[in-house]
Structure 1
Amino acid sequence: MFALATDLSAQTRVPQISKTPAKALPAKALKVVSLDQCADQYVLGLVPRNQILALSDRARLHDSNFRDRAEHVRRIRPQLENLLALNPDVVVRTWGGDVNLIKALTDRHIKVLNINDIYSYDQAKPELLRIGQELDQAASAQIEARRFDQAMAAIRQVGKGRSVLYYTPTGYSAGPDTMVGDMLRRLGFRLETQDKGFFYLSPEVILSLKPDIFALGFYEDHYAMRRVPGRNPLVRARIASMPNFTLPVQMISCNGWFTAYDLAELSKSPLTGSGGLKAVP
């Protein structure tokens, strides 16, 4: 009788609930694809190599900031069949991929992460931290944010209040509401013109302006220099006769926190030379 009571007691015993919190399952590492060169910079700057399925076909070009990190990473064109074959968790883009591609991805429940355009360094760090959070790379974004702050603090005011005119081979300049305009002001320059956005300056207008120094963009690109207003002999002679410097092409191809690293280095270079359209060493 005692044995039977013991058996019944064991069967009806209420199990003890552990007070130790259950361990959370480890989060799945997101597999990422980038659709364009500017998105490449965010992915290469934040995401571990083993989580990058593919980058854009421009990731290794000379105007890509983190091109060295892309050396052994697959590169693809932004086509649906390429992306579906890789089966990514997240597709990152700035301008890459058309409307039909983006819709096809979202219809298949593939997350498309759009990077916002930024026009100043005040916007750069918040966007960096946002993208880091979206990619589950908040720690990496914090590290880059600290590097960004250090780079911004290291920028020297080499302009010393002189007027500067940004000019490209295609005849375009940039206003104060652009990233290029903010770069030049961070260097301590005063913009020669206050027109907004990117705007065309004819050779006649260029010859009428009198900046203290020219900041040149894409002048080291021999392909871009083939048949453009910047090849005008009078324009070239005018620029060559005045102090000038070239903004590194990777610094002006895509907007982002990473351009601050090049800007800090550029501020250490002499910007008062004249006599040729050569990049600052």
Structure 2
Amino acid sequence: MIRRAALVLLALGACGESEGPPLAAAPQRIVSLDHCADIHVLALAETDAIAAVSPGAGEDYTFLNERAADIPVVRPSAEDVLLLKPDLIVRSYGGGPRATELFRRAGVPVVELGWAATLDDVAANTERLGAALGAPEKGAALAADLRQQIAQPAEGAEQALYVTPSGVTTGPGSLVDQVLSAAGLENYETRPGWHPLPLERLAYESPDRLVTGFFDSRDRFEGRWDSLRHPVARDLMALPRTDVPGALLGCAAFPLGEAIRLIREGRE
């Protein structure tokens, strides 16, 4: 079960305990340009301070997508965005590689999510975004929750294979690998990077369990020739498994802490 409400209440509760009025510099017309930016804006900003979110904000792969229901949507084009007269733009990849330079030249501040190679980086980014959006207490609370999940001692040595609907998995160095480790699991995939399922190895050596991602999505990213259609891969689906909603895994963002919790609880 996704504890979306619990995470938001955690952040809101931390904010409510602070003294004094909100920061005077808090932006009042925030625009986010892609669904990874939307995640942070929807969690950290007040609804009436959000001028627009991206077209992906309401999709099932976006965390807190229900909050986006009544918020205007804007395409990540310079003309459309500038017409909204934003006082802050938040982006990860939205608008293309030159978007940040373009908007800053137009006089609009831009906050980029930044690269996160580790879960600690994700927590730090959450704190930074909270401060930029005028909600440092919320950002700190969400970052603390993620760090708590990372810090819990791992128990057991079960091997888990991460599986997507397109038959892709990932090994050491990825955030998914770090999520599995934080949940007390050893990654079955030993090759760095992203790869098709290792069918030859799976034919004679199975993992102890599966962790799946994005199987709840309306667009399951399946291909006609993907490796999940192979009989060896199909047989894997009978193993013990934890299905992780794509909204928890879609971005290098604080919902990864809930993914860790969900996987850990799935083993109990």
TM-score, normalised via structure 1 length:
0.77
Give the aligned partner of residue 166 of structure 2: 170
Bigger relative contact order, structure 1 or 2, given CA contacts below 8 A and separation 6+?
A: 2
Coordinate RMSD, CA, aligned: 2.5
- Aligned partner of 2:213 among 198, 211, 217: 217
**How far 1:108 sits from its partner (Å)?**
0.7
Point out where structure 2 has 5 or more consecutive residues left out of the alignment: 1-22
1:225-240 matches, cutoff 5 A? 225-240=222-237
In structure 2, C-alpha distance between the alignment counterparts of 1:241 and 1:265, rounded to whole Å: 19
Contact kept, 8 Å, 2:130 with 2:136, in 1: the verdict is yes
Aligned to 1:197: 193
Aligned residues of 2:39 and 2:62 also touching (Cα < 8 A): yes
Query: Could you say if the C-alpha distance between residues 119 and 238 of structure 1 is closer, same or farther in structure 2, counting changes exceeding 3 Å?
Result: farther
Pair 239,156 (structure 1): closer, same or farther in 2 beyond 3 Å = farther
Structure 2: how far apart are the matches of 1:147 and 1:217?
Answer: 21
1-structure distance, mates of 2:220, 2:128 = 36
The 2-side partners of 1:244 and 1:233 are apart by 18
**Residue identity (%):** 24
Per the alignment, residue 243 of structure 2 pairs with: 246
Q: Is the 8 A contact 2:164 2:212 kept in 1?
A: yes
Shift in CA distance, 202/184, structure 1 to aligned 2, threshold 3 Å? closer
Write the mapping of 1:10-25 to structure 2, written as runs, cut at 5 A.
none
Q: Structure 2: which amino acid aligns with 1:235?
A: V
How much does 1:35 deviate?
0.4
Residues 197 and 227 in structure 2, CA contact (< 8 A), matched pair in contact too: no
Counterpart of 2:131, as a letter, is Q
2:246 partner letter: V
Match of 1:166, SS? strand
The change in CA–CA distance for 1:262 and 1:150 in structure 2 (over 3 A counts) is same
Give deviations 1:39-92, integer Å, cap 9, x for gaps: 111111111111111111111111111112212111111011211111111111
Report the Cα offset of residue 270 of structure 1: 5.1
Q: Residue 40 and residue 67 in structure 1: after superposition, are their counterparts in 2 closer, same or farther (change >3 A)? A: same
Residue 130 (str. 1) matches residue 122 (str. 2): no
Aligned length: 244
Structure 2 partner of 1:269: 266
Q: CA deviation at 1:121?
A: 2.1
Counterpart pick for 2:203 among 207, 213, 237: 207
Give the C-alpha shift of residue 151 in structure 1.
5.1
Letter in 2 for 1:242: L
Greater displacement, 134-143 / 52-61: 134-143
Q: Aligned letter for 1:27?
A: A
After TM superposition, the structure 1 stretch with the greater mean CA deviation from structure 2, 83-92 or 166-175, is 166-175
Cα distance in 2 for partners of 1:236, 1:165 equals: 11
Shift of 1:124: 2.1
* C-alpha contact (below 8 Å) 1:152/1:264 kept by paired residues: no
Superposition deviation, residue 265 in structure 1? 3.5
* DSSP 3-state at the match of 1:56: coil
SS of the residue 2:162 aligns to: strand
Are the structure 2 counterparts of residues 100 and 177 from structure 1 closer, same or farther at C-alpha, using a change threshold of 3 Å? Answer: closer
Residues 203, 265 of structure 1: alpha-carbon distance in 2 compared, 3 angstrom cutoff: closer
Q: Quote the offset at 1:99 in angstroms.
A: 3.2
- Normalised to the residue count of structure 2, the TM-score between the two structures is 0.80
Within 2, Cα distance between the matches of 1:233 and 1:193? 18
The runs of 5 or more residues in structure 1 that have no matched partner are 1-25, 272-281
